[in-house]
A = this chain, B = another copy of it.
């Protein structure tokens, strides 16, 4: 069996050299690379644009986990055997296919350009933040890779003899096609690849990613290849090389096409390493070249690797954990690592980035972030960023407002300056309100508020809130309004309206506060006492009939709920838990029903609507031990130091954020309500560095003290003060800077 995880020797050496293990040493980039976690082990800088991922999901050799035979959203699956290169832009932890392009591959011997032929099995695989290595069995080529923010850097250890570096622009994770390539010199190739059509949707918004690849060794031979489509009929008779791959040796002009690539060829008299730096840009080839220059010029592979790891270590050292097992620390720091990938950097080193949709070149002062999977991330991810990385969170908020400025609407699922319009709800405003209410206020809050009101109130041509008219008039969407979950969408709008109300209150907009507070609880109209759960209503106000509240789990279609069922959604009203309790007949009934979600196996750890459920027992006096038990159990069951160590898609860090919070013992249970609730931490002590410019520096310490055990009610102290209800506001937490959790 291949060693897919750390090389033990590597760790030992690292440990010896460094004296003691640092946060970065605990990260296992293979976590999430199976079980549809959709992360990849390739090197990436903190929130990097580039990422050198091993690409092993193409070719019949990888069936059944093959990208064209089933829906596939990751360039790498840990158990797949057949590697066809290294893709230089990739998404991490998403459920939709996208990117996975600009693929390099070292081979030896004769030039072969078909990935089904030139691919290889691989061994000696190892990875750390900013580093990946394996050996390609077929060629005896050891590969090492690292990355800067906008450049993937690889080092190929060739044996003597003929050697090739392929740059395959035909292959990609999705079936979106189209590329351009040009050999600039024996040490440089430039070009672009079309990507887009995230989820195979809105393909009209497909867009280019540009690149420049520079090679440490001048090629002895170079060229471009193109495999054109094959013609039939009379034309086929004319064509001497119909459908055959064309090798354009020495060609120095642009070639475009769907299935094209470029190659550098060598004939080494002794073993030789070739370093390849691939700079990328969403703006232009010129910018890709400048990115590469700014970030890597005059630096060799080892220097860049050391820098990448140092930056990762600094980033992860924001949180120090003590106690827990080595595995716990690995799971924790890997989760934290996975929260620092998306949202990722869209702008070039010179600040330029493409405008939403039309992609004119704009310039930004701060980082323009992209990959906002907000239906996922509004629930806990941005709350973690606000607490631990407030500057990042501030720039993300500013990026969201840039999206509004450019497109007229806040983002829903923004990706590389396109609005993919994936999932439901109007989540951006929740993040804006939550951030502002946590004291991160260095953004144009009036603009943010204007943007939030626009999607909340504009009835016609509103891409963010389809069905808004029904929602406002009836209080809910009906089975006729939408096929994307009338109940769940109503709930999402409720939470967004709650966020507007909270922000309105903070901004002194009393009328709005009242109006949106009222709107935020309209889900109550969908509460059906028959099931003591939410239930879809028809256009005429009648309940949907027949009705089975369990239908809808495991992505089965359900008229009322998207990606879930009534059990998985009914408690998703953290802003109105008391209201829900009343509807359900009181806290006991509420507790019983909530416990049933778990007992009836209706809880889905892998999807967002119910991920706060375990923490809802904290709302009931005497039931907090259930939270502690459940969270502990869920962590053990779903978060592990193995490739299948995530419950499913990481959802751009949302699952990882759940783990990070849960292992620290706190959780932001109610989006847009700046509070945390508690559970028993995994670690004895957690120390969070507080960012100077937002929080005045210092540390937030969370301590665990063994007391009565998990089966009993925990006690929580904020500073020296024991709290009676297991909630604390962000402000108070940062004032006291210490939590002690006794259990």
A interface residues with partner B (beta carbon < 8 Å):
68-71, 175, 177-180, 192, 194, 197, 200-208, 210, 226, 228-229, 231, 234-235, 238-241, 244, 246-248, 250-258, 354-355, 357-361
- How far is the CB of A226 from the nearest CB of chain B, in Å? 8
Q: In the complex, are the beta carbons of A234 and B70 less than 8 A apart?
A: yes
Q: In the complex, are the beta carbons of B247 and A204 less than 8 A apart?
A: yes
Give 19 A-B contacts (CB < 8 Å), ordered by A residue: A69-B234, A70-B234, A175-B231, A177-B257, A178-B226, A200-B235, A200-B240, A203-B240, A206-B255, A208-B253, A208-B255, A229-B258, A251-B358, A252-B358, A252-B359, A252-B360, A253-B354, A256-B256, A258-B258
Q: Which of B175, B241, B361 contacts A235 (CB 8 A)?
A: B175
Q: Which of B202, B229, B240 contacts A177 (CB 8 A)?
A: B229
Q: In the complex, are the beta carbons of B256 and A194 less than 8 A apart?
A: yes
Q: Which of B203, B255, B354 contacts A239 (CB 8 A)?
A: B203
A255-B178, A257-B177, A257-B194 known; A235-B360 Cβ under 8 A: no
How many copies of this protein are present in the complex? Answer: 2
Q: How far is the CA of A179 from the CA of B355 in the complex (A)?
A: 24
- How far is the CB of A469 from the nearest CB of chain B, in Å? 25
- How far is the CB of A358 from the nearest CB of chain B, in Å? 4
Q: Which of B177, B204, B207, B256 contacts A192 (CB 8 A)?
A: B256
Which residues of B sit under 8 angstroms from A71, Cβ to Cβ? 238
Given contacts A175-B231, A251-B358, A252-B359, 18 further A-B contacts (CB under 8 A): A175-B235, A178-B255, A180-B254, A194-B256, A200-B240, A203-B239, A203-B244, A204-B248, A205-B248, A207-B253, A208-B254, A208-B255, A210-B254, A229-B229, A251-B357, A251-B359, A252-B361, A256-B257
Q: Which of A71, A177, A358, A361 is most buried by chain B, counting CB atoms within 10 A of its CB?
A: A358
- How far is the CB of A229 from the nearest CB of chain B, in Å? 7
- How far is the CB of A399 from the nearest CB of chain B, in Å? 19
Q: How far is the CA of A229 from the CA of B170 in the complex (A)?
A: 14
Q: How far is the CA of A258 from the CA of B226 in the complex (A)?
A: 13
Q: In the complex, are the beta carbons of B253 and A179 less than 8 A apart?
A: no
Q: How far is the CA of A263 from the CA of B402 in the complex (A)?
A: 28
Q: Which B-chain residue is minimally distant from A222 (CB atoms)?
A: B358
Q: Which B-chain residue is minimally distant from A359 (CB atoms)?
A: B253
Q: How far is the CA of A212 from the CA of B541 in the complex (A)?
A: 60
Q: In the complex, are the beta carbons of B256 and A178 less than 8 A apart?
A: yes
- How far is the CB of A355 from the nearest CB of chain B, in Å? 8
Q: Which of A194, A239, A253, A257 is most buried by chain B, counting CB atoms within 10 A of its CB?
A: A253
Q: How far is the CA of A248 from the CA of B235 in the complex (A)?
A: 31
Q: How far is the CA of A235 from the CA of B229 in the complex (A)?
A: 18
